[in-house]
Amino acid sequence: EVQLLESGGGLGQPGGSLRLSCAASGFSFRTYAMSWVRQAPGKGLEWVSIISGSGGSTYYADSVKGRFTISRDNSKNTLYLQMNSLRDEDTAVYYCARDARYSGSNPSTMVSWGQGTMVTVSS
């Protein structure tokens, strides 16, 4: 059974940093691209970033480019999102999602999703 378990959410200050993790199990982690998708309270889904199976290629939404960094450790089956220069508008539930493909500059189908971790940016 595929499992994706996010952690690391919480309260962050404007201009501050947080690091999210997503522990994966039940599939060959290194074989698939992984994305982060967020959902602000009461709002829809917004794609944030994607990383290839090897970790060698990364892409970002314009809203987070230059502030967020996606990475992965295939030896630990874990995906990360380093969030710097936090803004109020980054407040959201952050989901990690397994892509249907190994790589790509855009997500294809997001096949499996974690339960999400809440990030609140506030002073």
Partner 1 sequence: EIVLTQSPATLSLSPGERATLSCRASQTVSSYVAWYQQKPGQSPRLLIYDASNRATGIPARFSGSGSGTDFTLTISSLEPEDFAVYYCQQRRAFGQGTKVEIK
Which residue(s) pair with 83 in the sheet? 18, 68
Q: Determine, following the binding rule CB under 8 A, whether residue 108 of this chain makes contact with partner 1.
A: yes
64 binds partner 1 (CB under 8 A): no
Closest distance between partner 1 and the C-beta of residue 30, in Å? 21
Q: Which of 87, 90, 58, 88 is nearest to 71 (CA)?
A: 58
**Cβ distance to partner 1 smaller for residue 58 or 74:** 58
Nearest 5°: the CA angle 105, 4, 50 is 10
Question: Using CA atoms, how far apart are residues 22 and 49, in angstroms rounded to an integer?
Answer: 14
Q: How far is the CB of 22 from partner 1 (least distance, A)?
A: 12
Total residues at interface with partner 1 (CB under 8 A) = 19
7 is a contact residue toward partner 1 (CB under 8 A): no
* Upper half-sphere CA count for residue 116 (Cβ side, 13 Å): 13
Which residues bind to partner 1, rule: CB under 8 A?
37, 44-47, 61, 95, 100, 106-116
